[in-house]
Structure 1
Amino acid sequence: TGSTDCALESHTRDVNSVAFSPSGMQVASASDDGTVRLWDAQTSTTLFVLEDHTDWVTGIAFSPDGINIVSCSKDGAVRIFDTRNGELLQSSRTSDENFRCVAYSPDGRRVILGHGNGRLQLCKTDMIELEIGWHGHATVVTSVQFSPNGQWILSSSRDSMVKLWEAQTGALISAFAGHAFLASSAIFLPITTYAISTSTDRTVRLWETSPTGVDSAAEDTPHIRRFAAYSPDGQSLISNGHSGTLQYYDANTGELGSALHSHTGFKCAVYSPNGLQIAVAGWRYGFELWSAQSCAIVHFVRTSDEPTIPAYSPCGRWMAVLIMSGGVDVWDTHSESKQVICRGQQVTSLAFSPNSLDLAVGHLNGDIRIWETSTWSCNIVIKGGVKDRAYVVYPPESSHLACCYMSGAKGIRLFDEKGQTFRTILEHDKFNVHQFAYSSCGQWIAAADRQMVHLWTITSDGMESDWTHVTTVEGFFGKVGMVIWRPNTIEFATASDDGSIRAWKVEEESGNVSVQLLWGHGGTTFTALGAVLVGAVGLSTTNRKLLEQRGAILESSSSANDCP
């Protein structure tokens, strides 16, 4: 019926892992409160509370015979308990390990452990003795499991990958790429030739675990575009590509350039203001600096937690990085010193002022804090009045700050140097703007609104002038996550959850504004190869170009009538 039979509520902090015993008569749970609890599945009563761990207990598993439980913890400990009396049977602890998950082999003689740094470790259970270990993923291993026959090991990771390993040697058999975000778990089906994985990209994927090493995810599988960035000279565009790559594009033609791999994966990447380097935020505790010309890694900067979004100051001195656990790491590129601001606070966006004197930080609760970069003191706190994620942007050549909220509430608000709201623009019931960008000239705003992009232009010079909505770009099959302007042009690019990266050009003629598609890649799979459309009406210019790019032949009614 889907109704709750009982609730087990004795843990005092988050529960990280639960497991049924092979008989189904017991349940084990592991928690951030540092305990392992064993429950009677029929009566919901606590049988034992195992309190030997000194930190979060992150993984737990029953032995195949149900007699023992193995647990692992962030404190580097692995412990085996007797389920009959709660006695600690084996214990091993290292000072530098950060275990996240654990699983028994079918014969109960070994356990496989997943680490916070991406390592996998195979141990014998009699003495918890290391048998073999290897670096399997770029970041946290989220799940591990032996195949039913004990020959293979399946692992998933926050680097979005699912991998298949040979259990005796740790040799890689297959690597399955297809998830757009972190792979949260992976399990074998009872028939070993298939596995299922889940992800925060809201998909469940079925894989054929063939020993040939063939990846069942096709290279053209649609994937979410997380970011896009133009080079300062406007000649190149980068975005996350397939299988965890950073893809280069020619900004003029859309021609594919290099597809680069990072040791830490890709969450976001930005060019330095001089265009010589690319800062790559990955899945490890730090970001990489790449040479934009040679694509070689020239520096690695460690952060206090996993980075999410990097931002350069226009002067190039400061690099600010959003941190997953809360706060902003600031790196001085001159002295290479680092500091943390907004520590422990949930931050959603960053924007440096054009003169690099201020850093605006948008928060999850709608507040905005403005930090002075000369002293790194917070001088202004703006209460948003909207309990929603704040997205902040500085217009070009302006000390004023612009902000929208992810739900689209209240349009775009403009603040003066003192943090006072002096104007609200683009406010309309039908608009739901969650991200926006100014053109280099400051005369245009492109704003992402669910599966479309709106375009506004300023009708006269100055901040007090009116903004006029001129057109809407549609034709997306997923949420438009990012819109960015090409420097010194009236062209912009969009990155969408439908997997597309597209470049657009704004054209003005006799007072009319239109947006033309220049080129595009990815997106929901669709082909019109060989299709002939005669006398089609109601097609926008964008849709006509999309059809032509996919192989359709568009003919007018008059030309069709001329055919024999």
Structure 2
Amino acid sequence: MKTVFSVLVFLAASVICFSDAFGQAYMREYLPEGAKARIGKGNVYGLAYSPDSTRLAVASTIGIWIYDARTGEDLKLLAEHTESVHSIAFSPDGSMLASGSSDETIRLWDAHTGEPKATLIGHTGFVRSVVFSPDGRVLASGGYDKTIRLWDTHTGEPKATLTGHTDRVYSVAFSPDGQTLASGGRDELIRVWDVHTGEQLQAFAGHAGYISTVAYAPDGETLVSYGGDGKTYLWHPKTGEFLRPLERGAEDIVFNSPLVYSIAYSPDSTTLACGMDDGTVQLWDIRMGQRKSILTKHPDADTATDAALKTVNKGTSGVKSVVFSPSGAMLAGASYDGTIHFWDTATGVSQQVVTGHTARFVRTVMYSSHGRILACARLGSIELWDPHTGTLRKTINSDVNRWTCVAYSPDNVTFAYGDYRTVWLLDANTGEHNETVLSGHKDRITSVDFSPDGSILASSSADETICLWEVVTGDLRNILVGHMARVQQVAFSPTGQTLASTSDDGTIRVWDINTGDVIKTLVGHAGGVGQLAFSPTGQTLASTSDDGTIRVWDINTGEPIKTITPASDRFSSIAYSPDGSTLASIVDRKNIHLWSVHSGELLQTFTGHMGYISAIVFSPDGRTLTSGSSGGTVFLWEIAP
């Protein structure tokens, strides 16, 4: 155990933001079968204004949200894709909406009714970018299969496939006259193509990394690119001549040189908007190559310095997507903090804020012991929800984004989380870190668990050890050694007298907490053992393994008493129902199966998450199963009595 002194204590405290947010609530619409509520609208990947500026389309992990751009009201959710939607575009006449997805398809929608019109199939990988030609007759798409494809928007048939990129294509953009197409991607080159012949006209380099975005100015005079090297460059689109970079000012350098996350041209071609990692949007004069103003989420921030100081979580509030309205009067920006701001470009004032989108994937979900709080832990934050009213009570935000695991103390006052090799203790009421940290592991921490009385915290690690800590003092009580490979998970028995652990060495070990001795070694899985869960009585223990089975063990004899073999061998977390009759498991990372502990029979399947399911937990009353996912959403599923 080490005590964190002076500067480190100050830094840890300074990056925690504890806020009340009563405005958000469960969503009870657009739910899959069996779900009674959803937390979050999914991560945002892209924005598109309708040509009449009245609607904003939002590409997300759960589909396409259509918002009223004037009021911020959500109008509908288009959810035909089977994976996350990463790119969207309105046709120039506003009649169609195109979307590209990681399900390898492109879909065309009726932009007014939301009805699907066509599914374009041809890409053999993630579709990262879609854009309509200026006349709306052609749709261009770029994907992870290294190709650019041109489609007839009337028939949905492919017109051409442009090849030449040697790696993933991240961005495509038509010139204003529709004669050429620019593209950029992972091969670090900007390529310009003749749309009619498919011939590559130019290939020019300058970025020292992948190119995430290319865009023509509406007047066609310049082409802008932004890359993984953090640079934003202006080019002559016909000659490939490098014109100038956008240079950051001295005050930016003071604040660790904010990086550009997204770019967009104004309709009159005079301004380039850059979404920054510090949560601001910088507006640049294209002709002069100089910054002219900064849009912030804080109306009282008058300077870049002030804006930076008011940004609580650099990196977690960065603006990941920006788009001007067709009139240029408004600018919309989506941030990693889950908000979408609408700024008046003339005044720089944020006119409207959409909330509810979830910026980070869900690490785990936990109920308080009394069942009145549902804790949702994401990378860098923990949300505390009232599971009965569906209201978000509090959010704890942190700059520490390497959370590997989280546990909730039995008295509901402390969170413990693993941050690589260190365990931090966090006050659930104040949002402040304890001044002591639990440090002793030599490799990544894989799990943490409180004893039933809350006095001891166990942590497991890839260093093949388990550490037992005194929660009050932070003292290291014992180091349990015996596993021959990474320890995957630890869990206290309901009595708190024993601790079970799983490992890649294929064993489950049951330890005496007082002596640190191994009481039993459970052997039977034919592969590494991943997750485990004690039954409420503590008489049995369930485990998952790389061998494709779930085994239920008799703790007293150490023998397996039930083996469940799902149709798939890919499953992870498991959880016992409070009455011990049902086991829930994550299968194929996409489905939740409910099993009878007595018979091993599959009772029910829940499906509907976009992204992989990362965590499951039963409510203390057993009426709800809660699941979290990499898509940033949480579902509450109805459990039949």
| TM-score (ref. length: structure 2) | 0.44
| TM-score (ref. length: structure 1) | 0.50
Greater RCO (CA < 8 Å, at least 6 residues apart): 2
